[in-house]
Amino acid sequence: MYALTTLFDIETNSPFAEMWRRLQTKCGMVTANETSFVHLSWQGAASYDLEHARVAVRQTASITRAFKVNIAGIGIFTGKKPVLFLNVIKNRKLLELHEVLWDRLMDSAKDMNGFYSPVEWVPHITLTYGMLLPGDLSCAVAELMYEPFTAELEIDNLAFIFLQDGMVGIDSRFELQPA
């Protein structure tokens, strides 16, 4: 499985670092960095024609300026592998880049995940993926539910990440132009 993402280092980013210290200490939470990467997903697919996809993403990154997104609150995607995430507030730049990436990579993706289509996409920053036990989740929600959690993050890179044979990694990363 591959995903086109923007990667973040929330453990050293000040508004998030304190939150994660609390969740790790009080709830035993494991950040996505230990099982995946803390990221915003633009799309996902079983595989890509990576040679073509890397060129398309490199070209897109070379003409796209970094921009800010606002974060407001937490959310949960339920299912066999639940996801705890930060809500990303949609803005015009985010939606435009998402649509460009969707269109440019459509032909190089095999079994693209329809949840990332422009019509279905819920922009979010994955914090934990598949590592949530009911007690961990209820502890995290209880810890954060009364706090107004808002922050601003910069979208400054595009990266292909993969999960294959139980291993996760970064295939390639492309920096956006400075804001």
Tell me the per-residue pLDDT of 41-56, one tens digit each, with 9 for 90 and over: 999 999 999 999 999 9
The CATH class of the 2-175 domain is: alpha beta
Distance, CA of 139 to CA of 74 (rounded, Å): 13
Could you tell me the pLDDT band of residue 11, with boundaries at 50, 70 and 90?
Answer: low
Taking 3-state DSSP, the helix, strand and coil percentages for the chain, each rounded to the nearest 5, stand at 35, 40, 30
Q: Which amino acid is at 99?
A: E
Domains of the chain, residue spans: 2-175
Round to whole Å and give the CA distance between 99 and 81: 27
Q: Is the pTM of this model over 0.85?
A: yes
Mean pLDDT value across residues 64-88: 90
Tens of pLDDT, residues 87-103: 999 999 999 999 999 99
